[in-house]
Amino acid sequence: MATKTKKANRQVGLGRIYISASFNNTLATVTNTQGETLVWGSSGASGFKGTRRATPFAATTAVQKVINKAKDEHGVDEVEIYVKGPGAGRDAALRAIKATGVKIALIADVTPIPHNGPRPKKKRRV
């Protein structure tokens, strides 16, 4: 039976945080500058179920857990933040990052916007 070897914790000064805020959940991923994932988490993984995952409080809790783990295990002290999506957790996640005390180098909105992509669905008749 093969044994798994644990990777050594990489000490990273500058990290990137990717926040994906949908209407149902908020995902947070911390990577190094090369894009290799160090830590990740979500509102659902933080113990929230159902519609409570979509709340700003759930996003705050999830992001705080992720940041604290990244600080402890990988020495992340400065971050670039990339926010994506229209969800309720966008602003709450940014406030949570600021509250943890890491230095913020950049905040960018990377929400995909169609340049008149596919034809929209037909209008709903109620």
| Chain centroid offset of residue 46 CA | 13
Whether 79 contacts 102, CB under 8 Å: yes
For residue range 38-59, list pLDDT tens digits in order: 999 999 899 999 999 999 999 9
| Domain residue ranges in the chain | 14-109
What CATH fold (topology level) applies to the domain 14-109? Answer: Nucleotidyltransferase; domain 5 (3.30.420)
CA separation for the pair 90, 17 (Å, rounded)? 12
The structure's pTM equals 0.83
**Is a pLDDT exceeding 90 seen at residue 6?**
no
Rounded CA separation 5/9 (Å): 12
Please state the rounded mean pLDDT for residues 102-123.
92
Average pLDDT over residues 103-122: 92
What pLDDT is stored for residue 42 in this prediction? 93
Q: Say yes or no to pLDDT of 104 above 90.
A: yes
Reference 95, options 54, 61, 53, 48; nearest CA is 61
Tell me the DSSP string of 44-109: TTTT--GGGGGSHHHHHHHHHHHHHHHHHHH---EEEEEEESS-THHHHHHHHHHHHTPEEEEEEE
Higher local confidence (pLDDT), 14 or 83: 83
- The CA angle 23-16-41, to the nearest 5 degrees, is 45
Contact between 60 and 48 under an 8 Å Cβ cutoff? The reply is no
What angle is formed at CA 43 by the lines to CA 41 and CA 46, rounded to 5 degrees?
A: 70
